[in-house]
Amino acid sequence: MLAFHIQTNGAKAQLCNIDLTEPGDSQVCIQIKACGLNFADLLMQKGTYQDTPVAPFSLGMEVAGIVREIGNNVRHLNPGDRVAVYSGQGGLAEFGVFDADRAIAIPDSMSFEDAAAIQITYGTSHIALDHRARLRPGETLLVTGAAGGVGLTAVEIGKLMGATVIAQARGSEKLKVAQRAGADHLIDASEDLRVRVQALGGADVVYDAIGGDVFKAAFRATNPEGRILPIGFAGGEVPQIPANHLLVKNLTVIGLYIGGYLKFRPQIVTDSFETLFRWHSEGRIKPHISHVLPLSEAERGLAMLRDRTATGKVVITP
């Protein structure tokens, strides 16, 4: 089968033919119809992601497809079922073998592309804002990098949860995307973020996907007893947090790595995905997919993430 494969750790992924393994007793073989790309895929290529698998492996963390074969101990799935799998790896391929307990049925009304696009970005934002930050109706949520993969979902979910949403992004086109997702206030990346947010009354919850100077400005614009979620570092610099400032304003910095829950509280992820799939069926959320590309253009899709030229999700369809 064709796969976008890394042969040795640190090497660049390449499209090549590899053997498909048989599913184990508690696994399923899935014909992959769609795979969402994530910034973590870029980090895996460099070997700097916190959960980089040991090579050889294929990139692609979130997939949707059709069950083709099940292991002897699998009882909740059957060949022909449409499923989504937060796989962590192996999604950029024509087929994949995954643990069956990670596979969740997707509604008939949901496309494979939407099912692949929803899992990590929406799951991250939903768990971050609901389970971790306990965002309340009427609070003000600041989202940086608001037109990116995770940022855009934070805007949408924050609005669904009853918050006033401030979106920061670069350029009018990206800000329009955030506005369509529900943002109440728009701030261009060229503006003074701290001044603008404070003029709007400050932020109760900060969802920061950029890091660096953007995080520092957002940190200083957070209201007393605010909660700050450092979700990602697309700007390249991991911020250093002055603990004494946390004390002055009684701030809370909250870490979140959605993949970590798969190891110690997987039900958190499963419950979140079921909620998100229900919201999708009810028409309450709709992933913004800017590009759908074939497997042969996986490198082009990753370049869009690296250069930050995509809005929302890039999805590969093997």
Residue 148 above 90 pLDDT? no
Q: What is the pLDDT of residue 243?
A: 92
- Within 8 A by CB and 6+ apart from 117, the residues are 34, 36, 62, 287, 289, 312, 313, 315
Q: What number is the average pLDDT over the span 199-216?
A: 96
Q: What is the pLDDT of residue 51?
A: 87
The model's confidence at residue 196, banded by pLDDT at 50, 70 and 90, is: very high
Residue 236 above 80 pLDDT? no
Q: What is the pLDDT of residue 116?
A: 97
Q: Note the pLDDT tens digit of each residue in 97-115.
A: 999 999 999 999 999 999 9
Q: What is the pLDDT of residue 235?
A: 82
Report the SS3 class of residue 254: coil
Q: pTM to 2 decimals?
A: 0.88
Residue 11 above 90 pLDDT? no
**Quick one: DSSP state of residue 93?**
B
Residue 47 above 90 pLDDT? no
DSSP β-bridge partners for residue 47 = none
Task: Report the Cα 232 to chain-centroid distance in Å.
Answer: 10
The model's confidence at residue 311, banded by pLDDT at 50, 70 and 90, is: confident
Q: What is the pLDDT of residue 81?
A: 98
Decide: 5 and 58 in contact? Cβ < 8 Å: yes
Q: Find which of 200-204, 231-235, 256-260 is predicted with most confidence, using mean pLDDT.
A: 200-204
Q: Note the pLDDT tens digit of each residue in 48-76.
A: 888 899 999 999 999 999 999 999 999 99
Q: What is the pLDDT of residue 179?
A: 96
H helix count then E strand count, the chain: 10, 16
Residue 303 above 80 pLDDT? yes
Structure token pair of residue 40: 């973590």
Residue 50 and residue 2: Cα distance in Å, rounded?
26
Q: What number is the average pLDDT over the span 153-159?
A: 97
